[in-house]
Amino acid sequence: MVPLSLQGVQDARIHLQLMGEFSCASESPVSFAARSAAEVVAYLAIHRNRWVPREELAETIWPGTDQKVARTNLRKATQRVRESLSPHDVLLKYSENLAINRQLVESDLDRAEALHRQYAFAPHLTESVEKLWAEWQILDHTLLDGWDNDWVVEERKNFAIRSHELGLRLADALESVGKIEECLGVLNTLIVRSPLDYELLQKTIRLQSRTGSGYNASKLVEQLLSDLPPQTEIPKPVRRLIQRVQQGQIEQVPAPELFETKNELALLARMVESNIRSNSPEAMALLAKESSNIDNWAHAKTLLSILTVALEHSEVKSDDEILIATNACFLATYASDFHVGQWAAKRVLDVLPESDERYIRVLSVLGFLHFETKNYDEARRLLNEAVDLCRKYKVDAELPRVLNRLAVLDYHLGNFEVAHAMFLEAIDLETKNNEPNRDSRLASFHGNLCTMEVLRCRWESARHHGELAFRYAEHSAKVYQIYVSSGYGLALLKTGDRRGIDFIIDGIVQTTRERMRRFNMISVDFGVAALADQKAFEPAAQIAYLNRLIREASGYPRGPAEMGFIKASFEPAGKISVPKMQPMSLVALSRWAVEELEALK
């Protein structure tokens, strides 16, 4: 598969508006002969970072329609797209997949993405805030306003969650530069839509008290309660906050630290950016070295952004450039920027022979990236090809890593016994290696096996492999301790060791702090299981429901094994009815989960 290009859209010929009412324009407004053609364009533009299977597109836009009829409808719709946008070839094809041509088509979502990247690299705080504000102004609209298709309604929920979390971050940013009134304006906009968000309420109460406007916490809560529809379910932490306010006991929540304090990686980016853009060998060597430090992978998004800048300004020929591209592939799995990983993988695969160990390593990671985007058949094909190449060219050092990724694919799909055997083979082979970073890889393998055993409710085995993951990570890669902490903690709790609660809390806190969003959501699910184990079914069910919404909005929904695990966690409680609740940010949900877990100690 040819990965989607990451080249910019400066040569775009087609401009789309997706936030607000849909519009399409070239040199003049473009209309489509049928609404379904516009839907095809909109869906592909929303999912612009991946290849979309034709089957998925047909089932999404024509739900409940006979499969053959839906496929026929899709062919007609794509033909209408091409006719309306001729001579521009806006649809890319690969096998049974379609994608939007990002070199010809620019959407408001592309502009928001570009602004977010500029915000991340802005050298000055005020400039950083300006970029974030501009991004929020794009996303703070209703997706495809006026369309009421089922798929649009679902996507709209996801974008609402993203916009809400971005608004909370913007509020912190505005406060950090002293723009209190603007900050309150953002918070008031958010609170109208999500009046029961704990984090949002805390921020608003604290800032209102700073303005001296006479608008106090009691009035805010009074207005909130009067505006709520009858029988609205109020999350437990919000109930407690309201009670404290009504009793005059509200504590002063401290202000956030200086917004987005630039860590060492961002400092590195600013120091070497001009040298990176000029393809300085010294800068590339430094970046290759720093990106190979696995402890830096805890800052996956920041580091991946730096590597992407470097790759855009290099031909990927030198050893350092190849190492940077290889590390970008790995980091993309941590940062959930899978299209970036695919693009970086192609840069490597285009310049190396298949006999090169680095080629096999990147091919294997590319297979895992396809797994992450739910293209399971292609993932298995690439991973099996990597296994064959390892054996053909006797690349023994890479084989256990490929087997580890195949095992993750299998357990995600519920093939537990196959995955278990493959994990053990990978661990055995890696144990015999004397390669650098062997211990960090063993930490990863045991951590993955611990997670699988947790999902199978095999607690003694999960505890054993969790302990080994921690032991191997102690002197090699602390990042693996972060992501395995909650699963290991749950195994401890299930085997009678209440220290497990502390491990679960630590996993949630650290993945939140380091913005390891994917592992943060998994850690919250393990926190849900711990609460259910301790018979705290009500908050467990509410947190599980809200985390499901966040996972779906983030493009990382629970897989079959995870859904079965969550369902099994609630079996002792029988049927639990969870009222629909307003989404909250992942940070707020994580804090709630930690608060409930602390109460168990």
Whether the predicted pLDDT of 259 surpasses 70? no
The Cα–Cα gap between 17 and 461 comes to: 51
Whether residues 165 and 226 share a domain: the answer is yes
- The dihedral through the CA atoms of 170, 515, 549, 533 has a sign that is negative
What pLDDT is stored for residue 250 in this prediction?
58
Q: At 283, is the pLDDT very low, low, confident or very high (cuts 50, 70, 90)?
A: confident
**Tokens coding 509:** 């806190």
Residue 253 belongs to a domain: no
Whether residues 90 and 130 share a domain: the answer is no
Q: Which residues contact 101 (CB under 8 A, 6 or more apart)?
A: 88, 89, 90, 91, 92
Higher pLDDT, 574 or 441: 441
What pLDDT is stored for residue 361 in this prediction?
96
Whether residues 381 and 524 share a domain: the answer is no
Q: What percent of the chain has pLDDT over 70?
A: 90
Model pLDDT for residues 325-349, shown as the tens digit of each residue: 999 999 988 777 787 898 899 999 9
Model pLDDT for residues 69-99, shown as the tens digit of each residue: 999 999 999 999 999 988 888 998 878 889 9
Whether residues 584 and 550 share a domain: the answer is yes
Whether residues 201 and 267 share a domain: the answer is no
Mean pLDDT of the chain: 87
The separation between CA 540 and the C-alpha centre of its own chain, rounded to angstroms, equals 22
Q: At 251, is the pLDDT very low, low, confident or very high (cuts 50, 70, 90)?
A: low
Whether residues 458 and 393 share a domain: the answer is no
Domain that holds residue 554: 445-601
Whether residues 450 and 511 share a domain: the answer is yes
What pLDDT is stored for residue 279 in this prediction?
62
Q: Would you call 356 exposed, middle or buried from its count of C-beta atoms within 10 A (0-12, 13-18, 19+)?
A: middle
Q: What is the mean pLDDT of residues 218-241?
A: 82
Choosing from 369, 404, 435, the residue where a domain stops is 435
Whether the predicted pLDDT of 169 surpasses 80? yes
Q: What is the mean pLDDT of residues 192-217?
A: 76
Residue 80 belongs to a domain: yes
- How many CB atoms are closer than 10 A to CB 493? 25
Whether residues 510 and 552 share a domain: the answer is yes
CATH value at residue 370: 1.25.40
What pLDDT is stored for residue 119 in this prediction?
79
Q: What is the mean pLDDT of residues 438-465?
A: 96
Q: What is the phi/psi pair of residue 591, to 5°?
A: -65, -40
Q: At 260, is the pLDDT very low, low, confident or very high (cuts 50, 70, 90)?
A: very low
Q: What's this model's pTM, rounded to 2 decimal places?
A: 0.75
Overall number of domains in the chain: 5
DSSP state of 19: B
What pLDDT is stored for residue 211 in this prediction?
66
Cis omega (within 30 of 0) on the bond before 583? Answer: no
169-183, 272-286, 388-402, 458-472, range with the lowest pLDDT: 272-286
Whether the predicted pLDDT of 234 surpasses 90? no
Q: Which residues contact 425 (CB under 8 A, 6 or more apart)?
A: 400, 403
Choosing from 335, 366, 390, the residue where a domain stops is 335
What pLDDT is stored for residue 270 in this prediction?
57
Model pLDDT for residues 525-577, shown as the tens digit of each residue: 999 999 999 999 999 999 999 999 999 888 788 988 999 999 999 998 887 77
Whether residues 64 and 89 share a domain: the answer is yes
Whether residues 64 and 125 share a domain: the answer is no
Whether the predicted pLDDT of 355 surpasses 90? yes
Residue 346 belongs to a domain: no
What pLDDT is stored for residue 571 in this prediction?
92
Whether residues 457 and 576 share a domain: the answer is yes
Residue 254 belongs to a domain: no
Residue 9 belongs to a domain: no
What pLDDT is stored for residue 295 in this prediction?
75
The Cα–Cα gap between 439 and 446 comes to: 10
Q: What percent of the chain has pLDDT over 90?
A: 53
Q: Would you call 99 exposed, middle or buried from its count of C-beta atoms within 10 A (0-12, 13-18, 19+)?
A: buried
Choosing from 81, 109, 137, the residue where a domain stops is 109
Whether residues 370 and 476 share a domain: the answer is no
Q: What is the mean pLDDT of residues 348-374?
A: 94
Residue 594 belongs to a domain: yes
What pLDDT is stored for residue 10 in this prediction?
45
Residue 440 belongs to a domain: no
CATH value at residue 200: 1.25.40.10
- How many CB atoms are closer than 10 A to CB 45? 24
21-30, 308-317, 385-394, range with the lowest pLDDT: 308-317
